[in-house]
Structure 1
C-alpha cells in the first residue's frame, strides 16, 4: 500500500504541474460521463412503473381502482391490474354484465367515486371537434391527485368544465362549449390536465353525467395476449372505472375475491408488494438485442474517449521522460514505471467519474424539475445507482485505457538515451499490423452478414454496429503503420509540411491515437451519411402515394354542410375557373363514434390483405371528375357504370357476382352491411379510396355521406406557393377545422436535417481531436521549433510547420475514416432499403397488398463527404496555425 500511495502522490504532483494538459484530459472523460449519466437518469425517471403510476391512477386517497371487464365471469389478473384474462374458455353473451356505482360500493365495502373517460365531440364557434373527455367529481376529496389544476378553478356544477392547456388556446376560460350528444352547454372555468403521463393533449374535465347520464360498463386497459374471450371484447369509445376508499388496505386476497365477480383491481397495497404470478403476467424486459446495442454504443464512446485522451497522455510521457529515467537509474523496475503512468489515468479517470456523474445527475434534476412545471411529464425523480456506478467505473476504465500505451512505452524506455536527452527510436510491434488486418477483415465480414439479415432489421443493424466496432479496432491497430507510410511522402512536400510529416512519423505513439480519433469520427459520419442518403434515395425512387403529386385538398373531417358552401365559395374566389372535385365520405349515422372510427369499409374476400387508405376513407360518394382523378385518366366503361347508378370498386376482391358489400360501423360494435351493384376497375397505382358510389346509389341504400374534402386535380392546376398561402389563409379564417393539404411528391429529403446535425457533431469532434493533438504535438516539439528559429527560420515557417501537423493528423484521419465508413455504410444501406431480389410488388389488384420491397439502393453523398475530407484538414491547419505561439523562448542554460 505504501508503494501505491507513493505512486499516486507522484502522479498527483505531476498533474498539478501540467494543469492545462490535466484539465484537458479531465474534460475529455468527464463531459461524456456527464452526458451518459444525464441520459440514464432521464430514461429511468421517464420509465414510470406501476407503483409510481399509483398517484396518477388512484389519486392521493383511494385504496384501489376497480374496472369491469363486461362479463360476470371470474378473471385472472396481474398484480398491477393491467393484464387480465377470463378464467374460462369462452364468454357467451349471456354472461355480459353492467355495474352501477352502488353495486361497486356494495362489492368492495367502501366509498366509491366514478370516473368516465373517452372521446367526445364538442362544438366551439360552430366547429365540431373530437376531444378526450374525463368525467371526474372534482368536489370529491377521493379524486384529489388524479388531475393537476393549472389555472382558474375546477368545475363545481354540471354547466362547467376545465380544459387542457392545448384546448385552452381555442377555448379560453370564459368561453362556452356545446356537447351535441346531450345538447348540453358548458362554460370553461379553468385549465387542468389529467395526472397521467400519457394524457391526450386535447382534453376536458367535467362532472359525472354531463357527457352521458347513463352509466357504462367497459373493459380494462388490455387483456393478456391470447386471452381475448370473444370478438365483442374490444375497447369501446368510453371507459368507466371507480376509485374506492376502503376501511382497510386492499390486499391480494381481496383482489382475488373481486376477480371472481368479473372485476379487475389496481390496489395501492398490492402494487407496493406484488405477489409472484405465472409467466403470462410477467413484464416484458429489455431484449438481448437492445442490451447488446446499448453495450456496443457505450464501447464506441469509450473508444473515442480513449483515442482523444491518448495523445495527451503520450505528451505527458514525453514531458516526464527525464524524471522517469532518473527513477529507473535509481533502481525503479519497468513495472513500477508503468504503474506510475497508469496512476495518471487512474487519478484523472476517478476525478472525471466523481465529477461527471454528479454533474449529470444535477443537470437531469434541473431538466425534470423544469419539465414537470406545471404538469408532470416525468415520473418521480429516480437515480439508477448501479447504472451510474457503472458509468463512474467506465470513466475510470477510460482513463486507464488511455494511459495504457504510454505506460507500456515508459516501461520500455532506454534509460541511457533518456538521460542523454536523445529521442527514443520508435519500434512498431511486428504482430500489430497483422492483428489489425484480421480485425478489419472480421469487421467487414460481420457487416456483410448483417446485410444478409434482411428479415430481422434490428438484428441486421446490430451486426453492422458490431462489425463497425471491430473494423475500427482493426484500423486503430493499423494506424501506426499508416502514419509511418504516410510520413514517407514528405520528400515531395514543401519544407514546413515535410517537417510536420517527419515529426508525426517519428512520434507515432502520440500521432497514431490522434489520427485514430479523427478516423473513428469520420468513419461514423460516413457510415451514417451513406445510410441516410440511401434511405432518401429509396424514398424518391420507390415513392408511391395514394394522392397524385401536386394534389391540393381542402379537408375537414366533420364540418357542417352549410359551412362547406362558404368554403367552396372562398376557394372559387381565390382560384376562379378551377374545377373543384367534391368528395363525400360514407360514415355511420349519429355522433356516437369518432370520425376515423365511423368510416365505412369495403368488404373484401382477401383475408389478411392490406389496402391503400387515405383521410378520405375507404368508401366515398363522387362523380365522374373524382373517378378521373383516382384513375389518372378517362375510363368510359367505368364512367358509364357510375352514370348507370353502380359503384366503381378498385379492388377485385371486393366485387362478387356484380355486387359489393359495404360495412358501416354502428353502435355496440354491431356494424351494418349494405349490398350494392358494382363493377371492378383496375387502377394503375394504389388509389386513395376503395370504392366510389354515385350519389343516387348512396341515397337509395340509405347510406349516410358527408362532405370531407374538395380536391384540385394537378392535371387542372398545380398551386404555386403564393396561391397555396392565399387559399390556406382564406379557408382557415372561415373555420379552424378546415385545412389545406398539398401532396408534395418525392422531392422532400427527410434525412437532411439529421445528416446536417450529425455532420456538425462529427466535424466538431474531428476538429477537437486534430486541434488538441496538434497543440500537444507543438508543445512536445518546442525544442525543434526553437532549433528552427536558431538557424534562421521565420515565424511564418514555424507557424506553417504547426499548421502542417494539424493538416497531417486531420487529413490522414479523415481519408482513412472516409474509406473505412464506406463499407459498413453501403452494407447498412443495402440491408435497410430492401432485399437483393426486390422490386415493387402489388397484390392481385393495385388496391390490395400495396407492399413495396424496393430494390436495394446505395447512394453515397460524395459532395458532402469529399467536401468534409477537404475542408476539415484545412480548417484544422488554419486554427492551429493562427493560434500557435511563434515567439522564441530561449532555453535556460547552466554555466
Structure 2
C-alpha cells in the first residue's frame, strides 16, 4: 500500500509539472471542463438562493401575521379547503340547486382575542408622465407591525396621511414619476403625493401604489359610479394575529362560517391528508408531483449531464492523447528504469486528475463570483428577490467531483494506449502500426439498429415520447461508436482530391485517435441542433396553419366599450391621422338599456341582446331539454350518432375572435372592403337595409334574423338556467346570406345603420376598421399609443401583422451554437494535429513545399473534421425529430377521435401535424460551417514554422 501511495504521489507530481510546462494545452482542457462546471454551479446557487423556505414564503405573504382570512364569495356557506387555501368547495351537493354566491362576514370567523388588519386591493388608471397606466391600488396600513416583510421600502416612507401614497419602483420606472411627484386617478380630481418607493419581494415587476385604508379606492369608486364608469373591483382580505397561532382546527372552524384561510402554522406543520375533509371528496386529492414525474425529471437531468460529460470527454480526450504522445520519451524512461504499465497509466491519469481538480476549483469559484455579481440582474429577471445567498457545500462538492471524474475519464483511453506501448517504441518515437478495433464498429452497428427500431416502435405503436427519445439517443451513441470506422470510409475519397485536402484527409484517417472524438463531438452537437431545429420548424409550420388572423394583413381595428362610445369619434380620428390609412369603416354596436352601459356590463339599468338561433339550426348535441335542464343533451345519442353530428355544420365551432355578441356589427359596405370581401350583391343588400350574414345558423327558413332585446338580465339568466327562452322583445330583419367560404374575420353579421334605426334598435359608437397603404411602423404605433392615452379610455387596438414565428430566434441561436461547437471541436482537432505532426510539416518544408501548403493543410484539416461531423450529425438528428412528430400526430389523432366520440370535434378535418426539415439551418451547417471553419483555421495558421535542429540520437 505504501508503494502504491508513493507511486501515485510521484505520478501526480510528474503530471502537475507537465501541465505547467505545456500551459497552452493545459489551459485548453481546463477551460473545456471548467466552463460547464461554472454554469452548473452558478445554476445550482441561483436555484437554491431563489428557492424560498416555507417560513420565508409565509413572511412575504403574511408579514408577521398568523393568517389571512378571505371571503370566497359564497354567501357564508360552509366550505372545505386544502391546507394552503388554494383549493376549496362548498359543503354539500349543488347539482340540483343554485351554487352559493354572495358576500360573507369575515368578522364572524375571527377567533376570540384576535387582532386584524384589512388589506384591500383594486385597480385604477393613474395619470403618469406618458398618459394612463393601469395600476394595482393596495390600501393597507404599511407601517403596521403585521405588514413587516411584505413590503420593503427602498426610498422615502409609507403614507401617513390620506393624501399620500407610496409606489413600487417598477411603477415609478414605467410612469416616469419619482418620490415627491403628484399622481391622480382617472375619474378623480383629488391629487396624491408620492412620499416613498417600495418593492414587493415576490413580485418586483408589479405596478402598485399603497394608500391608507379608505383613502383612494372608496372616493374613486364613488366618482366612477357617478360618471357611469366601471368601478375598481376592490376586494378585501384580513391579516389576523392570534395568540398561539392559527391552527388547523381554527381553519376548519372558519370554513364552517364560509371563510377561507391561509395559515402560517398550517403551512409550517400541515395536517395529514386524512384530516383534510376536502381530500376525502371524490375527485380531490393531494396533487403533489408523482414519483414517476420526479423520476422522469431526474432522468432528463441525468441525460443532459451525461451528454455534457460525453461532449467534454470527446473534446478533451484527444488533448490528453497528444500530450501523452509528446511525453512518450519521458514515459519510456519510466519503463526503462523499472516502471511497469501501472505507473505509465497512473502518470497519464494523473494528468486528467490534476486538470480536473484545477477545473473544479476554478469553475466553482467563478460560479460563486458570477452569481454574486449578477444577483441583482438575476433577481430582476426572475421578478423576485432571493431568500438568501444559499451556498450548499455538499452540492458544490458533488459538482466539483463531476469535473474531476470527467477529467479522469477523458484521460482514460490515452492512459491505456500509452501503457501498451513498448519501452523501445516510446524511446525511439516510433508509433508502429495499430489496427482499428473490430469490436467497436459491431457494437455501434448493433446500437444504431436497435435504437432505430425502438424509435420506430415508439413513433408508431406507443404515445410515450420517452421511448422515441431513448431509441434516438441509443442510435446516436451507436453512430458515435461507428465514427472511427466511418472516418476510414471518408478516407477513401482522398484519391480524387488535390494535394492539400488529400494530405489532410490521410492525416485524419491515420490518426483516428484524435480525429474520431472530435468528429463525434461535432456529431453530437449537430445532431441535437438538427433534431431541435426540425422539431421547432415542424411545430412552427403547424402553428402557422392553426393561426387565425383577426384581420387582413396590415389592417387595423380599434374598439372602445366604455362611456357609451363617448371617446370613439376622437379615437377614430387619431388612428386615421397617425397611420397610413387607405379605407376607414366606422362601426357601431347594439346597446340595450341606458347608453352608458358597456357591452358586458350587468349593472342596474343595463340590458343585453342575443341573436336567435332557430331551433332547426341548433346543434342537437347542445340543445337542452327544458324538462331536464341539468342533463347532458349529448348522452341521449349513441357514439356513432355523436361522431356524425360532430361534423354537422350546425355543431362546428369557430375559433375566430368576435368583438361583439354573436359577431354582430353595425356598419356599411366600407367594412366589407376593409375585410377584403368582394360581393356586389351583399353591398346592394346593405344599401337596401338588409343584414348581411356570414353564418347561416342564425338565418331562419324565411331568410330573416331575429334579435332579442333583453332588459331584465336577472330574469333572462333564470330562464336560461331552466332551459327556457329568455324574456325580451324580438326584432326581425331581412337578411342576405353571403358565401360562408369568404373569410369574415369574426364578423358574422353586418347590420346597416338604417335597418337598426327603422327597427328602433339603439346603437352606440363602437370603433372602426382600417385598411392601410403599408404596414404601420413601430414608431407610428408608439405615437398612436401616446395619442390614445390622452383619451383616458380603454382602447382595444389591433394591427394585423400576420403569423409571427417565435422559433426564428431559436433556430438562429441553435445554428450559431452548433456552428461554434463545430468550429471549436474542429479547431481543437486541427491544433492537436499540428502539434502532433510538426515533424511532418518540417519535412514538407525541407523537400521544397511552398509556404502556403502549411496554411492550406491546416484549413483542410479543420474543414475535414467539421464536414464529417456535420454530415453524420445531420443524418443522426433528423431521426428523433421525425419520431417525436409522428408520436404527436398519433396522439392528436387519438384525441380527435375521442372528441368525435363525445361529439366535440369542432372541425371536420383531421389534425394537421406536418414534418418540416429546416433546409436553411441544414444548409448553414452543411456548407457554411465547414467552409468557415476551414477559412478561419487557414487564416490563423502561420505559413512558416520555426526551424529546429535535428535531435541527436
Structure 1 residues 590 and 389, CA gap change in structure 2 (3 angstroms): farther
Encode CA deviations 1:871-895: one digit per residue, 9 max, x unaligned. 3233323333333353233246448
Correspondence for 1:888 = 946
Once the 2 structures are TM-superposed, how far is the Cα of residue 472 of structure 1 from its aligned partner? 2.4
Give the secondary structure class of the aligned counterpart of 1:808. helix
Encode CA deviations 1:199-236: one digit per residue, 9 max, x unaligned. 7744333322345559x9xxxxxxxxxxxxxxxxxxx9
Structure 1 residues 94 and 469, CA gap change in structure 2 (3 angstroms): closer
Is 1:710–2:768 an aligned residue pair? yes
Give the secondary structure class of the aligned counterpart of 1:578. strand
Is 1:68–2:68 an aligned residue pair? no
Correspondence for 2:33 = 29
Encode CA deviations 1:404-448: one digit per residue, 9 max, x unaligned. 321332343244322332113232221211211222233333444
Encode CA deviations 1:32-75: one digit per residue, 9 max, x unaligned. 1211222333344444464332222112x322222233454554
Encode CA deviations 1:582-623: one digit per residue, 9 max, x unaligned. 254869989999989999887986659854243724444312
Structure 1 residues 697 and 256, CA gap change in structure 2 (3 angstroms): farther
Give the secondary structure class of the aligned counterpart of 1:580. strand
Correspondence for 2:529 = 525
Correspondence for 1:802 = 858
Normalized against structure 2, the TM-score is what?
Answer: 0.78
Once the 2 structures are TM-superposed, how far is the Cα of residue 259 of structure 1 from its aligned partner? 3.9
Is 1:57–2:61 an aligned residue pair? yes
Correspondence for 2:313 = 306
Encode CA deviations 1:667-723: one digit per residue, 9 max, x unaligned. 99979967655778773247424665666898999999764531025xxxx432478
Distance, in Å, in 1 between the alignment partners of 2:363 and 2:712 is: 58
Correspondence for 2:190 = 185
Q: Write out aligned runs for 1:173-322 (5 A).
A: 174-178=181-185, 180=187, 185-190=190-195, 192=197, 195=200, 197-198=202-203, 201-210=206-215, 213=218, 238-278=234-274, 280-284=285-289, 286-322=293-329
Q: Write out aligned runs for 1:439-458 (5 A).
A: 439-449=447-457, 451-452=459-460
Q: Write out aligned runs for 1:12-411 (5 A).
A: 12-48=16-52, 50-59=54-63, 61-71=64-74, 72=76, 74-90=78-94, 98=103, 103=108, 106-107=110-111, 109-120=113-124, 130-151=134-155, 153-168=157-172, 169-170=174-175, 172=177, 174-178=181-185, 180=187, 185-190=190-195, 192=197, 195=200, 197-198=202-203, 201-210=206-215, 213=218, 238-278=234-274, 280-284=285-289, 286-372=293-379, 377-381=384-388, 382-383=390-391, 388-411=396-419
Q: 1:650 aligns with which of 695, 698, 701?
A: 695
Give the secondary structure class of the aligned counterpart of 1:133. strand
Correspondence for 2:512 = 508
Once the 2 structures are TM-superposed, how far is the Cα of residue 512 of structure 1 from its aligned partner? 0.8
Distance, in Å, in 2 between the alignment partners of 1:633 and 1:330 is: 96
Q: Flag structure 2 segments of 5+ consecutive residues without an equivalent.
A: 222-231, 280-284, 623-650, 721-725
Is the contact made by 2:345 and 2:418 (CA closer than 8 Å) also made in structure 1?
yes
Once the 2 structures are TM-superposed, how far is the Cα of residue 319 of structure 1 from its aligned partner? 1.9
Correspondence for 1:875 = 932
Distance, in Å, in 2 between the alignment partners of 1:47 and 1:721 is: 45
Is the contact made by 1:523 and 1:820 (CA closer than 8 Å) also made in structure 2?
yes
Distance, in Å, in 2 between the alignment partners of 1:485 and 1:719 is: 59
Q: 1:466 aligns with which of 445, 467, 470?
A: 470
Correspondence for 1:487 = 491
Structure 1 residues 358 and 724, CA gap change in structure 2 (3 angstroms): closer
State the superposition RMSD in angstroms: 4.6
Distance, in Å, in 1 between the alignment partners of 2:503 and 2:401 is: 41
Once the 2 structures are TM-superposed, how far is the Cα of residue 813 of structure 1 from its aligned partner? 1.5
Correspondence for 2:811 = 755
Q: Flag structure 1 segments of 5+ consecutive residues without an equivalent.
A: 217-235
Distance, in Å, in 2 between the alignment partners of 1:398 and 1:654 is: 73
Is the contact made by 2:137 and 2:217 (CA closer than 8 Å) also made in structure 1?
no
Correspondence for 2:665 = 621
Once the 2 structures are TM-superposed, how far is the Cα of residue 851 of structure 1 from its aligned partner? 9.0
Distance, in Å, in 1 between the alignment partners of 2:727 and 2:674 is: 26
Once the 2 structures are TM-superposed, how far is the Cα of residue 315 of structure 1 from its aligned partner? 1.0
Q: 2:845 aligns with which of 789, 799, 803?
A: 789
Is the contact made by 1:580 and 1:712 (CA closer than 8 Å) also made in structure 2?
yes
Once the 2 structures are TM-superposed, how far is the Cα of residue 513 of structure 1 from its aligned partner? 0.5
Distance, in Å, in 1 between the alignment partners of 2:80 and 2:213 is: 29
Once the 2 structures are TM-superposed, how far is the Cα of residue 291 of structure 1 from its aligned partner? 3.7
Distance, in Å, in 2 between the alignment partners of 1:149 and 1:591 is: 41
Q: 2:800 aligns with which of 732, 743, 751?
A: 743
Is 1:820–2:889 an aligned residue pair? no
Give the secondary structure class of the aligned counterpart of 2:947. coil
Is 1:858–2:915 an aligned residue pair? yes
Correspondence for 1:224 = none
Aligned length: 860
Question: Which range is displaced more, 152-161 or 806-815?
Answer: 152-161
Structure 1 residues 647 and 25, CA gap change in structure 2 (3 angstroms): same
Structure 1 residues 249 and 840, CA gap change in structure 2 (3 angstroms): closer
Give the secondary structure class of the aligned counterpart of 2:413. helix
Structure 1 residues 373 and 447, CA gap change in structure 2 (3 angstroms): closer
Once the 2 structures are TM-superposed, how far is the Cα of residue 114 of structure 1 from its aligned partner? 0.6
Give the secondary structure class of the aligned counterpart of 2:56. coil
Give the secondary structure class of the aligned counterpart of 1:185. coil
Once the 2 structures are TM-superposed, how far is the Cα of residue 775 of structure 1 from its aligned partner? 0.7
Correspondence for 2:640 = none
Is the contact made by 1:56 and 1:196 (CA closer than 8 Å) also made in structure 2?
yes
Give the secondary structure class of the aligned counterpart of 1:161. strand
Give the secondary structure class of the aligned counterpart of 2:374. helix
Give the secondary structure class of the aligned counterpart of 1:553. strand
Is the contact made by 1:335 and 1:411 (CA closer than 8 Å) also made in structure 2?
yes
Question: Which range is displaced more, 109-118 or 187-196?
Answer: 187-196
Once the 2 structures are TM-superposed, how far is the Cα of residue 864 of structure 1 from its aligned partner? 3.9
Once the 2 structures are TM-superposed, how far is the Cα of residue 31 of structure 1 from its aligned partner? 0.3
Is the contact made by 1:638 and 1:681 (CA closer than 8 Å) also made in structure 2?
no
Is the contact made by 2:273 and 2:286 (CA closer than 8 Å) also made in structure 1?
yes
Give the secondary structure class of the aligned counterpart of 2:111. helix
Is 1:811–2:867 an aligned residue pair? yes
Structure 1 residues 419 and 167, CA gap change in structure 2 (3 angstroms): closer
Is the contact made by 1:325 and 1:415 (CA closer than 8 Å) also made in structure 2?
yes
Is the contact made by 2:689 and 2:754 (CA closer than 8 Å) also made in structure 1?
no
Distance, in Å, in 2 between the alignment partners of 1:263 and 1:576 is: 55
